[in-house]
Amino acid sequence: MAHFAKIGMNGKVLQTVVVDNSDMLDANGVEDESVGQQFLEINNNWPAQMWIQTSYNTMNNQHKLGGTPFRGNYASIGYEWDEDNNIFWPKKPYASWTKDIATADWISPAGAMPQLTDEQQSQTTAGTHNWIYNWDEDGQSWNLVNTEE
For the beta carbon of residue 118, count every other beta carbon within 10 angstroms: 8
Residues 73 and 123 grouped into a single domain: no
Residues 57 and 116 grouped into a single domain: no
Residues 25 and 97 grouped into a single domain: yes
Q: Give me the number of domains the chain comprises.
A: 2
Q: What is the pLDDT of residue 149?
A: 65
Per-residue model confidence as pLDDT tens digits over 67-110 = 999 999 999 999 999 999 999 999 999 999 999 999 999 999 99
Residues 135 and 125 grouped into a single domain: yes
φ/ψ of residue 120, rounded to 5? -65, -40
Q: What is the pLDDT of residue 148?
A: 79
- What's this model's pTM, rounded to 2 decimal places? 0.88
Stretch 22-50: mean pLDDT, rounded?
97
Per-residue model confidence as pLDDT tens digits over 53-64 = 999 999 999 999
Residues 68 and 121 grouped into a single domain: no
Residues 15 and 35 grouped into a single domain: yes
Cα angle for residues 22, 6, 66 (degrees, 5° grid): 60
Residues 73 and 129 grouped into a single domain: no
φ/ψ of residue 50, rounded to 5? -100, 10
